[in-house]
Amino acid sequence: MKGHACISLLVFSFLIVGGIFAQEKDKMKYNKLTEAEKAVIIDKGTERPFSGIYYKFDEDGNYLCKQCGQPLFHSSDKFNSECGWPSFDDAIPGAVKQIPDRNGIRTEIVCSNCGAHLGHVFTGEKFTPKDTRYCVNSISLNFLPLTGIKKEEKKAIFASGCFWGTEYMFRGRKGVLATRVGYSGGHVKNPTYQQVSRGNTGHAESLEITYDPKKISYEELVKLFFETHDFTQIGGQGPDIGPQYRSAIFYLDDEQKKTAEEVKKLLRDMGYSVATEITKAGVFWPAEDYHQNYYGKTGGQPYCHAYRKIF
């Protein structure tokens, strides 16, 4: 994962994917914009503060790019910053691209699909534990409300070495609604991959899973977690050595803690030496976009994760 060959493969894969994406994007037909919308979305203007329809707006649903319709933000990540524009402390993985602003001071955010100007992103303001504020123009957005009965969703966070492989083993499983890789268990806010790779942030490469408990239970997820990596290895996973590759379950409530401890005890009763730590979850920090669904993008397979039936 860390060698020059992997870096070359990553760059090559992005060039191929990027070329296909560019060809497909040329075929897209975007929504027709009004002159006011063009002034912000195309010409990178800013709507007047406190004037947007989504500033004081708290319905459940997704916020979409007005130009192309790509989902950008979940309502669960929206918060009131009193700044005059809609604020989010997270974006849907891969949906929002950050680029240097034309004035070289701020960081602009655009739709990763069509390049529509959305607003700017700020850090260091401490509005939420994620310490990030996506400041977005309402005029750049459409809103898609949740309809009918809201699907029950829960989350789980696991770490089992390289998060590319951990995600690969869970993604697409029945009942798993969404996955995203990131960093958990450390003391550094908004960590980067380079920082975590040094092994001194306390963070582990982790996977956040959104799942439907009616289709897959937390216990089933925990058992799959143990069945897809070497939980007996201390301080790493396979050839990846360091605390950032440790085996860990980050529980989100007492019920998850109890379940994780019961499954861990079951393994010990079966004669296994279990190195997995069970720790209360803190903030989950999403990793950089190119890490999300890495093997899905590149067509590769894990080098230190494999399924073996235990339970």
Catalytic residues: 135, 162
In this structure, the chain runs to a length of 311
User: How open is the CA angle 3-193-281, to the nearest 5 degrees?
Assistant: 130
Pairing mode of beta strands 96-100, 87-88: unpaired
